[in-house]
Amino acid sequence: MLDKVKPDSGFEVITKHFESIRKLTEDLCQGLDVEDYNLQAMADTSPVKWHLAHTSWFFETIILKRFESDFEPFHEQFEYLFNSYYNAIGEQFLRPNRHLLSRPTVAEVFEYRRNINERMVELLSSAEGNPKTDILPLTVLGINHEQQHQELLLTDLKYNFYQNPLMPSYRHAETDPPENSVNDLKQRWITFDSGVCTIGKALSDGVAEKFGFDNESPQHKHYLQGFQMCSCLITNAEYIDFIEQGGYQRSELWLSDGWAVKNEHGWKAPLYWFKKDDAWYHYTLDGVKKVQDSEPVAHVSYYEADAFAAWKGARLPTEQEWERVAAEQLVSGSFLQAEHLKPIAPKTGDAVVKQVFGELWQWTSSSYSPYPGYRPLAGAVGEYNGKFMINQYVLRGGSCVSSQGHIRATYRNFFYPDARWQFSGIRLAKDL
């Protein structure tokens, strides 16, 4: 997948892209206090500082170390400290302990970023007229990697801030936006016929314009039975109905593992929700807000999504069903750059199937597994995706904190079915 970049055109474009994405990551940190950079409430969430360092580590360890002729590490222990999970590179500092790294300081990590940026730009310029080098495709991979961590940085920070009873606001929005009143929002079922369709990304695509991760390939045929898909994401109003009709107490709606997990954790509503004076509130990146009826419900686990679907007499879509629907649409929706930092209600002008991209990751019923003929990338980056193809479920579509331009119809995200801290929502499907 990384073997077909067009480097003559690519060098300047990629450098520019590199610089803007790197800058965006740092822009996301404006308004944070130094104290905010190191929060880690559970092993799954990494501190902001760690995200800042690890994305630089990726460029240093995967690219500079291999291609710089006079490579010297910025700091001899960073390779170990900021390695996430690459066994091929070496041991990793324990994930749950990332919050214990008060040093390097925030200022030192920003210095680390500056240093890596400079060296990367210099290296990229050396790639000009060197059509066979892996520098450019690996840089594109590193850029996409950084975009993933931009999303995680916000997602994790939301979870970590939430542990503080002071309920800090990530930014200081002046007032609540008026609820976008979509009084006539109606879920509709759209029908799709049976037949063989094409799934995944062809390997012959160039990297620069049409990047894809290895897990999206190869492109292959898939037979789909006819199905129906719901026009909109499930709204808070619909989900409140589920709660108030006893959805969390009716075992027959739940998968066996889901019922056990729900009971163990005492879930009674989505993550971040609480009830006060008979009204639902939730914690957002703008602090505590009232839950808005017409906005999509977010921060539900696979188990809750599945139970909700059962309650509606429906089911979650497979990832192939979702991709078939998405393939017909332009990639538009509320992404990170729209700065809502929460999902919003559908607009009337949207396509028949609305809210396909942006807003919320949509749980599919598909276990994350290799496509027929899948081959991981060579080298350490072969650990990027392949080794996680077990026990997780695919989510599609990107979210309100996904970086614009990072998402496409073939994009596969994946989490364990009990995960709730992601911006994850519900799209329903049905058999014909």
Sites of contact with its own copies (CB under 8 A): 33-39, 41, 77, 80-81, 85, 87-88, 93, 97, 99-106, 160-161, 163-166, 168, 194, 196, 220-223, 225, 227, 251-252, 254-259, 302-303, 306, 315, 365-367, 369-370, 372-373, 382-383, 387-391, 417, 431
If you count them, how many residues does the chain have? 432
Distance of closest approach, residue 250 Cβ to its own copies, in angstroms: 9
Distance of closest approach, residue 126 Cβ to its own copies, in angstroms: 31
Rounded Cα gap, residues 230 and 309, in angstroms:
11
Cα–chain-centroid distance for residue 366? 17
**158 and 41 Cβ atoms separated by less than 8 Å:** no
Q: Give whichever of 225 and 337 is closer to its own copies, judged by the CB atom.
A: 225
Q: Which helix H or strand E contains 54, and what residues bound it?
A: helix 48-58
- 287 Rama class: left (phi>0) / alpha (psi -120 to 50) / beta: left
Distance of closest approach, residue 173 Cβ to its own copies, in angstroms: 18
CA 338 vs CA 149, 343, 401: distances in Å: 18, 11, 9
- Amino acid making up residue 133: T
**321 and 224 Cβ atoms separated by less than 8 Å:** yes
> What DSSP line would sit under 86-151, residue for residue?
-TTT-----GGGGGG---S-HHHHHHHHHHHHHHHHHHHHHTTT-TT-SHHHHHHHHHHHHHHHHH
Q: Give whichever of 251 and 332 is closer to its own copies, judged by the CB atom.
A: 251
Distance of closest approach, residue 34 Cβ to its own copies, in angstroms: 4
Q: Give whichever of 17 and 430 is closer to its own copies, judged by the CB atom.
A: 430
Q: Give whichever of 317 and 425 is closer to its own copies, judged by the CB atom.
A: 317
Distance of closest approach, residue 259 Cβ to its own copies, in angstroms: 8
Helix H segments across 235-349? 236-244, 256-265, 302-311, 319-326
Q: Give whichever of 375 and 408 is closer to its own copies, judged by the CB atom.
A: 375
Rounded Cα gap, residues 87 and 84, in angstroms:
9
Q: Give whichever of 9 and 391 is closer to its own copies, judged by the CB atom.
A: 391
Q: Give whichever of 103 and 186 is closer to its own copies, judged by the CB atom.
A: 103
Distance of closest approach, residue 295 Cβ to its own copies, in angstroms: 27
**Residue showing tokens 């892996």:** 134
Q: Give whichever of 384 and 423 is closer to its own copies, judged by the CB atom.
A: 384
CA 126 vs CA 11, 12, 201: distances in Å: 9, 11, 30
At 62, list the tokens. Answer: 């995967």
Distance of closest approach, residue 93 Cβ to its own copies, in angstroms: 7
Q: Which helix H or strand E contains 153, and what residues bound it?
A: helix 135-162
Q: Give whichever of 137 and 317 is closer to its own copies, judged by the CB atom.
A: 317
Distance of closest approach, residue 420 Cβ to its own copies, in angstroms: 16
Distance of closest approach, residue 394 Cβ to its own copies, in angstroms: 11
